[in-house]
Amino acid sequence: MTKTITRRDWLTGSATAAAATLALSGSKAAAQSFMAPNVNPTAENPIRAHLNENVYGQSLKARKAIADSADASHKYAFQTLFQLLGLMAKLEDIPQEYVGLGAGSTEFLEKAAVFNALAGGDILLPTPTYGDIARFGRTLGSKLIEVPVSDDMAINLDAIRAAMTKNVKLIYLCNPNNPIPTIIEKNALIEFINEYSDQATVLIDEAYFEYVDNENYESMIGMVKENKNVIVTRTASKIHAFAGMRFGVCYAHPDIIKKMFGLFTNTLALPAMRGAIASYQDMEYQAFLRQKNKECQTIVSNMLDELNLEYVKSNANFIFFNAGRPSKEVAEIMKKHHILTGREFAPFTNWVRLSLSKPEEMQYFVEKYKQDFG
């Protein structure tokens, strides 16, 4: 049975019920979304376009697994932990000894920064990029060597090469990058890893991996399989909508995995593990979310083209555009419409990072943006 949720359903607030009915009656992934688009945002319930979350929420299969886990949460969950470890290995066709699990991928970034600091190493990274490694490095007293992105706003591997020193023991590359959703071309990255992974651990943060649709992109798990000194990190916080539930996975040589986790981690809660087991196997829901993300990309880039604003083609679930005015000003005005946009990312103070939440919400954003700035 197919039934579409009408705009009237949304407006009258019966969308939740309507979509829940759909979810129960249909097997289509699209029917899973029972979190209604927020087309009447308020101060208490704004459109969340600031933190690159998946506002559709978790897969229904994951939600059920999470709810059902309450009955077993009084027990240590080692069996589930190994089941999840096995699944994450199988999905990437890699032996289980190469896999580490954590409560979000932040855990791996933190561990990598700690091991680098213990070895007295410096950290080499592009800027701007995702800030956690730099934050942890600073806290631990490590020297940071930050290399600006190139004029086309992509991570500049040649400039990173030029900045390399003997004391660098950790290189952080976020691919796709954040806040600028560019990718590093696969062959260039493989070449870079071949060149530098004997000298330093190369950490490739693939938080937005699931959203990439670009023939020039490739996960660097292949380099892990070749036993290079590489750590690939992934998170369930994005397409799997586990930002608050917490689950992440990393892939690295068994020596690195052992160093980071001992035998295995025990930081994971049963609901997160059971939810992840369900979510990572729900390919249909992931395909639905990728499709919705594309619709959002089209809606926003059409507006940017129309207004003649410069932007970086998105390889993730957010877009980065030059508003021609301070992003702080845009954020303030959008907040009055109850739309939250990304914070300022120096030195690109006129550029706005907009998370691609839902097509209906992006349409609302476009309407308000044009009203104020068009």
Q: Which residues in this chain contact ligand PLP in the complex, by CB under 6 A?
A: 52, 104-106, 130, 174, 178, 205, 207, 235, 237, 243, 248
Measured from the CB of residue 28, what is the shortest distance to ligand PLP in angstroms? 29
Instruction: Find the radius of gyration of the CA atoms of the chain.
Output: 21
Measured from the CB of residue 290, what is the shortest distance to ligand PLP in angstroms? 17
For ligand PLP, give the closer residue by CB, 19 or 175. 175
Residue among 277, 287, 104, 135 nearest 205 (CA): 104
Measured from the CB of residue 213, what is the shortest distance to ligand PLP in angstroms? 18
Cα 149 from Cα 341, distance rounded (Å): 22
Residue 236's SS3 state is coil
For ligand PLP, give the closer residue by CB, 39 or 243. 243
Query: For the chain, how far is it from start to end, CA to CA, in angstroms?
Result: 42
Measured from the CB of residue 206, what is the shortest distance to ligand PLP in angstroms? 8
Alpha-carbon torsion angle 335, 327, 179, 142, nearest 10: -110
For ligand PLP, give the closer residue by CB, 104 or 126. 104
For ligand PLP, give the closer residue by CB, 30 or 103. 103
Sorted by sequence, the CB contacts under 8 Å of residue 226 that are 6+ apart come out as: none
Measured from the CB of residue 243, what is the shortest distance to ligand PLP in angstroms? 6
For ligand PLP, give the closer residue by CB, 52 or 142. 52
Residue among 328, 331, 326 nearest 341 (CA): 331
Cα 164 from Cα 145, distance rounded (Å): 8
| Contacts by residues 253-256 (CB-CB < 8 Å, ≥ 24 positions apart) | 253/98, 253/224, 253/227, 253/228, 253/229, 254/95, 254/97, 254/98, 256/201, 256/229, 256/231
For ligand PLP, give the closer residue by CB, 109 or 303. 109
Measured from the CB of residue 39, what is the shortest distance to ligand PLP in angstroms? 25
